[in-house]
């Protein structure tokens, strides 16, 4: 009986045996896996002739990933940069001939038109998606937010005429029930939600010291 001898190039042999793409998520992420799953109103017990629940969840997840809010708004002729109210500047008003619609600036905030009647989850349910089974730490929840590209000027004067607003990938850290506002943090170039020291932001950014 001879011993089994492992070839010196065993790792390269395994890499050569990779067949086609894998559905396994290999990229590093600061978001829990369940935070990307859509809400499906289906019984857990499969009915004959009906798709299994897991299949329906995966189909909707892939479908929703193909949607982009900026493209959907643009297809309706909506400029996302024009959704944010700006300071009224009568000295720089364009002439009527050069405007498509009205010369008056937008003066109603977007929150006036907010309607959560058809939301599939409450804010508390959205935030609970950051909790992983067996862990007490709440991770960020993935989302998109209409934010200024210039962070410094955006904090100093959110209604500045010089700002450009875009839909940006963010991690939702927390929710304030009194103000009905979410606390979000922009993702970095790798899609991670990290603080200035490169550490993952958990529990809404609150440290054990408060």
pLDDT in tens, 164-196: 999 999 999 999 999 889 999 999 999 999 988
The most confident of the ranges 18-27, 90-99, 152-161 is 152-161
What SS3 state is found at 203? Answer: helix
Is 169 part of a structural domain of the chain?
Answer: yes
Is 34 part of a structural domain of the chain?
Answer: yes
Q: How far apart are CA 184 and CA 170, in angstroms?
A: 6
Which range marks the domain in which residue 62 is found?
Answer: 25-42+49-205
Is 15 part of a structural domain of the chain?
Answer: no
Whole-prediction pTM: 0.75
Q: How far apart are CA 155 and CA 137, in angstroms?
A: 29
Q: How far apart are CA 130 and CA 170, in angstroms?
A: 14
CA-only gyration radius of the chain, Å: 24
Is 13 part of a structural domain of the chain?
Answer: no
What is the number of structural domains in the chain?
Answer: 1
- Candidates 170, 142, 172, 166; CA nearest to 154 is 166
Is 135 part of a structural domain of the chain?
Answer: yes
Is 4 part of a structural domain of the chain?
Answer: no
Q: Please say whether the beta carbons of 151 and 141 come within 8 A.
A: no
Q: Is the pLDDT of residue 113 over 70?
A: yes
Both structure tokens of 47: 């009915």
For residue 147, what are the β-bridge partners? 166
DSSP string, 174-192: EEETTTTEEEEEE--TTS-
Q: What percent of the chain has pLDDT over 90?
A: 40
Is 3 part of a structural domain of the chain?
Answer: no
Is 1 part of a structural domain of the chain?
Answer: no
Both structure tokens of 7: 């070839």
Residues 6+ apart with CB under 8 A from 181: 175
Q: What is the pLDDT of residue 45?
A: 84
């Amino acid at each position: 009986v001879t011993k089994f001898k492992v070839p010196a190039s065993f790792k390269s042999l395994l890499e050569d045996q990779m067949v086609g793409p894998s559905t396994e998520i290999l990229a590093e992420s600061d978001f829990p896996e369940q935070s990307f799953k859509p809400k499906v109103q289906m019984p857990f017990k499969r009915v004959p002739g009906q798709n299994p629940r897991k299949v329906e969840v995966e189909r909707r997840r892939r479908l929703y990933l193909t949607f982009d809010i900026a493209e959907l708004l643009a297809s309706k002729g909506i400029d996302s940069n024009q959704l944010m109210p700006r300071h009224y500047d009568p000295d720089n008003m364009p002439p009527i001939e050069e405007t498509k619609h009205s010369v008056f600036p937008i003066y109603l905030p977007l929150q006036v038109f907010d309607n959560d009647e058809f939301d599939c989850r409450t804010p508390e349910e959205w935030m609970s998606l950051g909790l992983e089974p067996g862990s007490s730490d709440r991770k960020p929840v993935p989302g998109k937010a209409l934010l200024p590209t210039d962070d410094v000027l955006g904090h100093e004067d959110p209604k500045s005429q010089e700002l450009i607003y875009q839909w940006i990938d963010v991690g939702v850290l927390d929710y304030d029930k009194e103000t009905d506002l979410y606390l979000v943090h922009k993702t970095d170039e790798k899609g991670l939600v990290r603080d200035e020291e490169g550490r993952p932001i958990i529990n809404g950014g609150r440290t054990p010291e408060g």
